Structure 1
Amino acid sequence: MSDVISSADARPVRAGFRRLAVAAAITSLVVIAVGGATRATDSGLACPTWPGCFTGGDFLPPITGEFVDGLGRNVTGINIWLEHSHRLVAGLLAVQVAALLVWVLRRYRHVPGLLWPVVVAAVAVNVQALLGALVVWNLVQAELVTLHLGLGTATMVLLIFLAARSHGAVATAGLRRPAEPNRARLWRLSVITTAMLWGQILIGGHLSGIHGGLAFKSRPLLGIFTIGPITIEEEAINVVHRYLAYAVAALVMVLAIRIKRSVDAAGGPAQLWARVSAGLVGLQIVLGVTNLYSDLSYVSVIPHLAVASWILAALTMTTIHLCDRDDLGSAARTPAPDRIGAGV
């Protein structure tokens, strides 16, 4: 598809649209973080009905008192409001995406690079709402929780793409492999690393859902230096999670090093985001080890999931900027006009 939009469609990407796109992307990260807190504190059924908390229209549940969750366990007001806050923030995201959809249909419907991310995100947000209901109605079944997490992180990537492209000179139809060979190899490595991280997040979410995070508590070296007799699902998923983590960490470091060696002396956005990804991976390793030594304390589990989403966001930005021709090489950067229809 051509990167050139007809002059009739050449309109400025308004600052309001850009700000709303950024706000939606940030909200999606908050939704994931609050969802992680809900999961880590076992608060997923603290509100046993949906969409309200204790009744269908109970949108302001009490804070104090004695309550029972969907499994008949006693829960506190903190558990209730963690779960309910997750729904409220998700509701805010739905409103933001709906506003973006109306805006893009009215003004940018002929610009694929803005139209398709918003339309897909709108569909995903509605499916997410249905999955949220199914998670509650099916008592947080592990497979549904994993699907819920996967779609949530995929929606986040879409919104980050939208926010980043709406700030560019032109909102292109999508990410395309660069023509320059070295740049194309870096782009391909970034795409592979991002996809593997997304898979790693899903496996980690499923591991949490089946309560397998401490499967090797009595044999901490199993799955690290040796592969012993693996007899249960929790052990198998744990091993896959660990080895995929090693692979993703290695790929992120390689990507950061290769981009650093490829960019000009002044650096660039791709190099910056690759460095951020590498730094967050180091933090993630520390949090993963802390999870084991703390018996999966929510103090470390919550940031563990949040940081995973930040790494995914940083790798997404790295991939996007590798598609921008001025990020790599020694050519001087020339500020591009903020108009749809200008060349990339």
Structure 2
Amino acid sequence: MKTLTVVSAVLALVVITLGAYTRLTDAGLGCPDWPGCYGHLLVPDESKAAQLEQAFPERPLETQKAWNEMIHRYVAGVLGLLIAALAFMAWRKRSQQIEAPFALPILLLALVIFQAALGMWTVTMNLMPVVVLAHLLGGFSTFCLLILLAMRLHDWHIPGGDIQLRRFSALGLSVLLALVLQIVLGGWTATNYAALVCTELPICEGNWWQKLDLGAFQLWQPGHENYEFGVLNYSERMTIHVFHRFWALVVTAMLVWLCWRLFQQASSKFFKRLAVAMFAVLLVQVGLGISNVVMSLPLAVAVAHNAVAACLLALVVAANYALQRKV
């Protein structure tokens, strides 16, 4: 079960990365139906394009985009099967009265089923931002819960000499909540195609403060047949982008402070290494964010920005778990 959990966690990160790649290559509707693609389990051959156009006139076949979408679905499906296996193993151990985590595997199974539904709604609701955002957050949550399960199974705990670090539990939780909010803002930026509306640093070009429009954060945006490439105006997209940048400064400061305090006060290598890892990943993430602006959102950098965000969140979750874990 330990090995399967670690494999599932790695695969969850792969799914997050593939999801970002799918979104950033505008392949979210590469297949206009679900769970298949143009009514097939595999992407149809281009020789059938004319026939498929009659069945799906609003979405002509683009083979590359269709494959991007389907590969993401295939890998996500494999992850779902692995999580189902983890839940079955947990249930079996419980029925045999063998001590093992039970709630986490069952929660993961419920989450992955809901994720499948969100994947379907992403297509059937034509990339409605709130649905795409929920799908993104579900992927991050799945990854972090698998990391937690791996820590539970390996019985990681606070080293005896670091019991005094419990006083940083409130700070760790504050950093976690702030980081989650930043990921939500980043997801809202991506799903509303607002990543390129500000092309200057540190904030935005021109008199941006006069154009702020808080209506940009209205989650439900009915009345549109298709949300691909966004439906918000420039001011609304700029507002989302600016808030994402502002909050990034807050989160960076909080994370640096947490890393410094843990590194300074810890007597064990465990927490010192964890603090160094969080700080290093934070630096990479900040560099990727700046590169996205300076280099106008290159695909590799934008995909990496998503993957590294998931890794940073997992590290902060691990730090919170370790800070509150009983000796």
Count of matched residue positions in the alignment of Structure 1 and Structure 2 = 298
Which residue of structure 2 lines up, in the alignment, with residue 119 of structure 1? 106
- Is the counterpart of residue 145 in structure 1 residue 127 in structure 2? no
How far does residue 108 in structure 1 lie from its aligned partner after superposition? 3.5
- Is the counterpart of residue 158 in structure 1 residue 145 in structure 2? yes
Q: How does 1:127-142 map to 2 (within 5 A)?
A: 127-142=114-129
How far does residue 310 in structure 1 lie from its aligned partner after superposition? 0.8
Distance 1:113 1:106, change over 3 A: closer
Which residue of structure 2 lines up, in the alignment, with residue 18 of structure 1? 2
Tell which deviates more after alignment, 61-70 or 80-89.
Answer: 61-70
CA contact (8 A) 1:28 1:156 kept: yes
Which residue of structure 2 lines up, in the alignment, with residue 254 of structure 1? 257
Distance 1:290 1:108, change over 3 A: same
How far does residue 219 in structure 1 lie from its aligned partner after superposition? 8.3
Counterparts of 2:208 and 2:26 in 1: how far apart (Å)? 32
Which of 6, 22, 26 is residue 42 of structure 1 equivalent to? Answer: 26
Q: How does 1:223-234 map to 2 (within 5 A)?
A: 227-231=209-213, 232-234=235-237
- Is the counterpart of residue 99 in structure 1 residue 81 in structure 2? no
Distance 1:63 1:294, change over 3 A: farther
Which residue of structure 2 lines up, in the alignment, with residue 277 of structure 1? 278
Q: How does 1:171-320 map to 2 (within 5 A)?
A: 182-217=164-199, 221-222=203-204, 227-231=209-213, 232-264=235-267, 267-320=268-321
How far does residue 224 in structure 1 lie from its aligned partner after superposition? 11
Which residue of structure 1 lines up, in the alignment, with residue 229 of structure 2? none
CA contact (8 A) 1:252 1:274 kept: no
| Structure with more helix by fraction | 2
How far does residue 194 in structure 1 lie from its aligned partner after superposition? 1.8
Q: Secondary structure at the match of 2:253?
A: helix
Letter in 1 for 2:14: V
How far does residue 220 in structure 1 lie from its aligned partner after superposition? 6.3
Q: TM-score, normalised by structure 2?
A: 0.82
Distance 1:291 1:107, change over 3 A: same
- Is the counterpart of residue 29 in structure 1 residue 30 in structure 2? no
Q: Which string of whole-angstrom CA distances, capped at 9 and with x for unpartnered residues, describes residues 28-64 of structure 1?
A: 1111111011111111010111001111xx2221476
Distance 1:169 1:184, change over 3 A: closer
How far does residue 322 in structure 1 lie from its aligned partner after superposition? 2.1
How far does residue 223 in structure 1 lie from its aligned partner after superposition? 8.4
Distance 1:112 1:240, change over 3 A: farther
Distance 1:78 1:259, change over 3 A: same
Percent identity (aligned): 29
How far does residue 320 in structure 1 lie from its aligned partner after superposition? 2.1
Letter in 2 for 1:162: L
How far does residue 303 in structure 1 lie from its aligned partner after superposition? 0.6
Q: 5+ residue gaps in structure 2?
A: 214-234
Tell which deviates more after alignment, 159-168 or 190-199.
Answer: 190-199
Q: Secondary structure at the match of 2:101?
A: helix
Counterparts of 2:88 and 2:257 in 1: how far apart (Å)? 41
Distance 1:220 1:196, change over 3 A: closer
How far does residue 66 in structure 1 lie from its aligned partner after superposition? 8.3
Q: TM-score, normalised by structure 1?
A: 0.78
Q: CA-atom RMSD, angstroms?
A: 2.9
Letter in 2 for 1:87: R
Counterparts of 1:247 and 1:169 in 2: how far apart (Å)? 30
CA contact (8 A) 2:274 2:315 kept: yes
